[in-house]
Amino acid sequence: MCGIVGFTGRHEAAPILLEGLSKLEYRGYDSAGIAVRKGDTPVRIVKAKGRLKGLYEKTDSGKAMEGTCGIGHTRWATHGEPSENNAHPHCSDDMNVVAVHNGIIENYQELRDKLSRKGYTFYSQTDTEIVTKLVDYYYKKYNIGPIDAIAKTMVRVRGSYALAIMFKDYPGHIWVARKDSPMVIGVTDGECYVASDVPAMLSYTRNVYYIDNLEMADLGNGEVHFYNLDGDEVKKELTEITWDAEAAEKGGFEHFMMKEIHEQPKAIRDTFNSVVKDGRIDLSSVGLTDDIIKDISQVIIVACGSAYHTGMVDQYVMEEFARIPVRVELASEFRYRNPILNPNDLVVIVSQSGETADSLAALREAKAQGIRTLGIVNVVGSSIAREADNVFYTLAGPEIAVATTKAYSTQLICGYLLALQFAYVRGTMDEERYLSLIAEVASIPEKIEKIIEDKERLQFIAARLANSQDVFFIGRGIDYAISMEGSLKMKEISYIHSEAYAAGELKHGTISLIEDGTIVISVATQDDLYEKTKSNMVEVKSRGAFIVGITHYGNFEIENTANYSIYVPKLDTHFMASLAVVPLQLLGYYVSIGRGLDVDKPRNLAKSVTVE
């Protein structure tokens, strides 16, 4: 999603803004721009369509724009096509107000009509220009200060937004506001930063404030002051970011995605060790006591994209271990169908960023009904982390590539450990098996390392897949959930049409799409379902499919059916998703490379979907 940066201090702003925007490229964008001001002189705005390279060239890497206060933006088009005119920053007619904005203003047409009647003209198709001029309108009409003008605007607009604004009358100051769109503010050595995500400012400071929903802030003179909608000042505590700038760099890898695939063993170990002490699970840091666990009657897992796929795995594992009903819901559908929730339900919201718009809305729907909520998130201080009743952090560190890898893997670990603890506390699993399975989960990082060590073998089959038009993934049970993630990885970074199907559903229509040369990737790690899956492999092979089979070592019989076989280490079948997904991540990566595509920044996609 769009990226915001801002800086005010003693140093030249333009180079800092450009560097910050480059750290937010992973969010996805189609144009970019910066606005910089030197003292009392007018603001200068420079924009460019396309990649940041164009903005660097126009500004001579920032050297051509003098000034110590500025804001910048990378835009992902919503209202209006990608163009220089539609790029941010936007300004009022007389340059009194200059702003950048993430989010969507739902009543923008109504506001545009109002402002047109008041004499405002418009040069873009964006909702951002409208909100910028609305701030200007209130500021002038009521002869009020920036905080009051922004507050009136916030009350008037509907939708989601993160705003960074400069006023002509207040050199050296940046005002910010947010509703349902992430924003973080950093301070250090008498200088202030604002960004839509931490990596943009991590080279300069690790001391940050998280601005809450429907709050505003004034950044200037090395200080930050926060205000609520009534204009009353609000006190905030600083948070220290524990990972350093190097964690958000490529570290010698060609792409962030490959780096993050390699980081999965460490991320899993860190997440595991955060709640496992002396071989036993301790959820005290999560806030789930034994009494709470015993009282839960149903678990509803709500998520989007890859996080939804981890929920599918968790459903199988938790129902099997804890014998408790589990539903998995798409966050984008959850609140719109008036979900039936019971007082003793637990709603689990899974989100890497902790800012996913639909997931955050689902969390608020559950809380409005008085239901206990648990967030499984990667970002400390994110909206979901702050608003959920309980939080289970995935310690994956910064994940920059759009296609998730290590966040997905750590979310699986959280699900496994919750399932095991629920089972043990609720008496559906004895201590011997409980301890044995915890040890199985502990072995996952080492086994992933073995898969990654042998990754070059996958380049052979990736070359075969690179020219494909369609790829089908099939599996049963947990293997079906793994197939869904493998299919998503393939389509989102290689742009090959791919679909995942429960293998038993092939004969109900899908098998009609199979013809000579069709690629079918069959995930077959579940021993009790292997024979059933094998029969589906035979069905598609008899119709000309080229089959790639994924199973565990020892199951070499698969070579009698599959045209190409991929093996992962043996593990308890409930946890095989953690191993089988790794070659699927690598396949997607190598196929994308083979097609000459941008692995880390696939077209039309954003890392964090913070608008509906």
* Domain range list for the chain: 3-248, 256-442, 455-594
3-state SS class at 370: coil
517: alpha, beta or left? (left if phi > 0; alpha if psi -120 to 50): left
pLDDT of residue 522: 92
Give the whole-angstrom CA distance, residue 117 versus residue 110. 11
DSSP bridge pairs for 598: none
C-beta of residue 162 within 8 angstroms of C-beta of residue 171: no
Spell out where 247-291 has E strands.
276-277, 280-281
pLDDT of residue 29: 74
**265 has a pLDDT exceeding 70:** yes
pLDDT tens profile 13-50: 999 999 999 888 766 678 899 999 999 999 999 999 88
Q: Which residue has the higher pLDDT, 388 or 501?
A: 388
C-beta of residue 26 within 8 angstroms of C-beta of residue 601: yes
pLDDT of residue 349: 97
pLDDT tens profile 78-102: 766 778 889 899 999 899 999 999 8
* Cis preceding-peptide flag for 89 (omega within 30 of 0): yes
Predicted TM-score of the model (pTM): 0.74
* Cis preceding-peptide flag for 325 (omega within 30 of 0): no
Quick check: do 3-248 and 455-594 share a fold?
A: no
**592 has a pLDDT exceeding 80:** yes
Mean pLDDT of 71-80: 80
Question: Phi/psi at 528 (nearest 5 deg)?
Answer: -75, -10
Give the whole-angstrom CA distance, residue 20 versus residue 22. 5
Look up 266 and say whether it is catalytic. no
Q: Within 10 Å of residue 18's Cβ, how many Cβ atoms?
A: 21
C-beta of residue 195 within 8 angstroms of C-beta of residue 142: no
pLDDT of residue 167: 97
Q: Within 10 Å of residue 265's Cβ, how many Cβ atoms?
A: 21
C-beta of residue 488 within 8 angstroms of C-beta of residue 326: no
C-beta of residue 288 within 8 angstroms of C-beta of residue 374: yes
Give the whole-angstrom CA distance, residue 70 versus residue 268. 39
pLDDT of residue 541: 81
Q: Which of 259, 534, 601, 607 is flagged as catalytic?
A: 607
Range of 52-56, 326-330, 355-359 with top mean pLDDT? 326-330
Element (H, E) at 362: helix 357-368
pLDDT tens profile 282-338: 999 999 999 999 999 999 999 999 999 999 999 999 999 999 999 999 999 998 888
Q: With CA atoms as reference, report the closest residue to 343 among 399, 392, 295.
A: 295
Look up 91 and say whether it is catalytic. no
Q: And the tokens for 612?
A: 């509906």
C-alpha pair distances (Å), 183 with each of 13, 104, 270, 440, 603: 19, 15, 26, 39, 24
pLDDT of residue 244: 61
Question: Phi/psi at 151 (nearest 5 deg)?
Answer: -60, -45
Q: Which residue has the higher pLDDT, 440 or 512?
A: 440
Spell out where 189-342 has E strands.
191-195, 207-210, 215-220, 223-227, 233-234, 239-240, 276-277, 280-281, 298-303, 326-330
pLDDT of residue 1: 57
**268 has a pLDDT exceeding 60:** yes
pLDDT tens profile 455-497: 888 988 888 888 888 899 999 999 999 999 999 999 999 999 9
Q: With CA atoms as reference, report the closest residue to 512 among 540, 493, 532, 488.
A: 540
pLDDT tens profile 573-591: 999 999 999 999 999 999 9
C-beta of residue 56 within 8 angstroms of C-beta of residue 47: no
For 363, half-sphere exposure in the C-beta direction (CA atoms, 13 angstrom radius) is 29
Give the whole-angstrom CA distance, residue 402 versus residue 440. 30
pLDDT of residue 90: 94
pLDDT of residue 417: 98
∠ at Cα 549 (545, 553), nearest 5°?
160
Q: With CA atoms as reference, report the closest residue to 350 among 428, 297, 298, 404.
A: 404
Given the structure tokens 């702050």, which residue do they identify? Answer: 386
Domain 455-594 has CATH 2.60.40.10: no
Which CATH number applies to 3-248?
3.60.20.10
Q: And the tokens for 151?
A: 């507050």
Mean pLDDT of 594-599: 88
231: alpha, beta or left? (left if phi > 0; alpha if psi -120 to 50): left
For 522, half-sphere exposure in the C-beta direction (CA atoms, 13 angstrom radius) is 31
Give the whole-angstrom CA distance, residue 74 versus residue 59. 15
pLDDT of residue 610: 46
pLDDT of residue 79: 64
pLDDT tens profile 131-184: 999 999 999 999 999 999 999 999 999 988 899 999 999 999 999 999 888 889
189: alpha, beta or left? (left if phi > 0; alpha if psi -120 to 50): left
For 198, half-sphere exposure in the C-beta direction (CA atoms, 13 angstrom radius) is 30
Q: With CA atoms as reference, report the closest residue to 477 among 285, 316, 329.
A: 316
Q: And the tokens for 9?
A: 């201090």
- Kindly report the average pLDDT of the chain as a whole number: 90
Give the whole-angstrom CA distance, residue 538 versus residue 544. 10
C-beta of residue 43 within 8 angstroms of C-beta of residue 27: no
Alpha-carbon dihedral sign for residues 245, 247, 253, 259: negative
Give the whole-angstrom CA distance, residue 198 versus residue 186. 9
Q: And the tokens for 106?
A: 């739902």
Q: Which of 2, 69, 192, 304 is flagged as catalytic?
A: 2
pLDDT of residue 24: 81
**442 has a pLDDT exceeding 60:** yes
Give the whole-angstrom CA distance, residue 373 versus residue 349. 7
Domain 256-442 has CATH 3.40.50.300: no
Give the whole-angstrom CA distance, residue 189 versus residue 175. 19
C-alpha pair distances (Å), 505 with each of 368, 377, 536: 38, 33, 9
pLDDT of residue 506: 67
